Structure formats: C-alpha cells, structure tokens
Structure 1
Amino acid sequence: MDLTTQKEKETEIIDRVFFIAGMLGVLVVALCVIWWKVTGKSPIPPVPPCMIHAVTGIYCPGCGGTRAAYALLCGKPLLSFYYHPIVLYTVVVGAAFLVTQTIGRLSRGRFRAVVHFRPAYLWIALALVVINCFVKNFILLYFHIPLL
C-alpha cells in the first residue's frame, strides 16, 4: 500500500468518525430544541457560574460559550458571535462538513467538493478561543468594561 492510499484511507476513517459524531450531535440538539419548544422548559439544567471568573474576576477561555449557544438557538447569530465566536465558527464549519459529507455519501463519490477534517480547523478554533479570551480580559482589566 503506497503512502497516498494509506493517507486517503486514514482521511476516510477520520471523516466517518466525525460524520457519525456530528450527526449524533445534531440529533441531540434537535431533540433538545423540540423538547424546549413543546414543553417550554429547557432540557438542560441551569449552568453554574464560571468558577474561574468568580474566584479571579477575569474571564476564562470558555466564558460566554453558554450564552453564545443560547443566542444562536434563539436566532441571534451576531449576539452569539459577540458572546463567544467559537460557537458560531463550530456551527458553520460543522454544518459545511456534515452537509458536504452527506451529499458525497448519498452521491456515492460523484460529488467531489466534500469538506474533509483538517487539523487547521482545530488550530483556527484554538486561535479564536485565545484571541477572544485575551481581548475580553484586556477590555475588562484595562478599560474596566465587563463584556459578559
């Protein structure tokens, strides 16, 4: 087996794992939204306050993520991006991956414009988290303006 074939096989396995995990994630979110709309009650218990923020007074790298997810579920993508850009980024990249993978699988490979998993997506996500944390803490500590 040559290196190209082995790399393609590894990519196929990784794509399959992420595809299954992504579809299960979509199913869970869909069921939670249906539950929320039918009963009027959130299927997720209240999230406790951030301990890092409570103890240190600064934002942790994940601060704002829950608010961002809630804003996105309420149809407010700009507010979601303001709270934490990683949520919107994950949804956009994940949706592109799942849609193109689904079309590629249904077309049995005739559709070639399929988004594959790339480590660069994770590096971009990490950069978003670090930049978000730095900017929000800089504004909080330097200008004394709480953003969350």
Structure 2
Amino acid sequence: MSFATTERRGTRRLKALLPPLGVAAAAGLAFAVVGAVDPNEPGHYPTCPFLMITGLYCPGCGTLRTMHALAHLDPVAALGLNPLALAMIPFLLFWWGRWVLRSWQGRPRRTTLAHPAWLWVFIGVVMVYWVVRNLPFGAFLAP
C-alpha cells in the first residue's frame, strides 16, 4: 500500500468523524452554557410551555437543572431533578460512541437506530414516567 493511499484513507476517516465530533462539540458547548448560566434563577431560560399551560410536569421538566447540577459535580441533586434524563446519559454516550466507531471504521451508517421494539419500550417508559411524576405517589419524581 502506498503512502498516497494511506493518506487518502486517513483523510476519509477524519472526514467521516466530523459529524459525530460536531455533535460532541455542540453538546459540550450547550453543557458549558447550562453549567455557567444557572437555570434555577428566573429569567435565564424560558418556562416549559407544557408546565406553563397545564401546571403539570413534562418528561423533560428539570433537565436543564439536572445538567447544571452535573456541571457542578452534584449527581445527587441531578438525580432529584430528573432521574430519567440522568439515566439516559449512559445510553446517549453508548450510541454516540458507536457512531464514532462506525465512522472511524468506514462502515456505513445504519438506517435504524435500534430495533423498533426497543424504541416502543423507550416511548412506554417516557409515557409512564410522565404520568407517574404528576401523581401524588410519584411526587418524588417531580423536579
């Protein structure tokens, strides 16, 4: 294999890594902004529209404050604000790492993220979480 072929392969690998690295950079920037600008202080971020209209918590309520707590190395507070968002972080990191690996190896992107059954399970978990966190016995799930 010649140097030119190796160089082209390396260039292709780096170009293939640009999308996942761009997503990581955007996520890192968003995490830094939420870590620096406290969502607990009124006026910094808009109120959740679902909460404002219904008075009920959506599955995402408390996620900004969860990320702020994580940025300040307080996982206990993060767990109390939105445990579902905190539980999703390892899964997101797994899928992102898988994307990086497939891109580096030059393997084609899959057209499906996961088996449809797993997506239905995820939707079911989110729906149950949404309902339970708004019931009296699920108040511990409220932010």
Q: TM-score, normalised by structure 1?
A: 0.54
CA RMSD of aligned residues (A): 3.8
Tell me if structure 1 keeps the 8 A contact 2:50–2:57. yes
Aligned to 2:123: 126
Report the AA paired with residue 131 of structure 1.
Answer: V
Provide closer, same or farther for how the CA distance between residues 96 and 59 of structure 1 changes in structure 2, counting only shifts above 3 A. same
Provide closer, same or farther for how the CA distance between residues 73 and 46 of structure 1 changes in structure 2, counting only shifts above 3 A. same
Aligned to 2:73: 75
Report the AA paired with residue 25 of structure 2.
Answer: L
Using CA pairs below 8 Å that are at least 6 residues apart, which structure has the higher relative contact order?
Answer: 2
- The structural deviation recorded for 1:143 is 8.5
Tell me if structure 1 keeps the 8 A contact 2:32–2:71. no
Aligned to 1:147: 142
- The structural deviation recorded for 1:102 is 2.5
How many residues matched?
119
Structure 1, unaligned stretches of length 5 or more? 1-15, 110-115
Aligned to 1:137: 134
Aligned to 2:44: 46
- The structural deviation recorded for 1:105 is 4.1
Map residues 53-132 of structure 1 onto 2, 5 A cutoff.
53-107=51-105, 117-118=113-114, 119-132=116-129
Structure 1, residues 52-88: CA drift from partner, whole Å, max 9, x if none? Answer: 3334332233322222232233333443343223423
Provide closer, same or farther for how the CA distance between residues 120 and 88 of structure 1 changes in structure 2, counting only shifts above 3 A. farther
Structure 2, unaligned stretches of length 5 or more? 1-15
Tell me if structure 2 keeps the 8 A contact 1:86–1:125. no
For 1:100 and 1:71, the matched residues in 2 are separated by 27
Report the AA paired with residue 147 of structure 1.
Answer: A
Q: TM-score, normalised by structure 2?
A: 0.56
For 2:61 and 2:85, the matched residues in 1 are separated by 12
Provide closer, same or farther for how the CA distance between residues 120 and 81 of structure 1 changes in structure 2, counting only shifts above 3 A. farther
- The structural deviation recorded for 1:145 is 7.7
Sequence identity percentage: 20
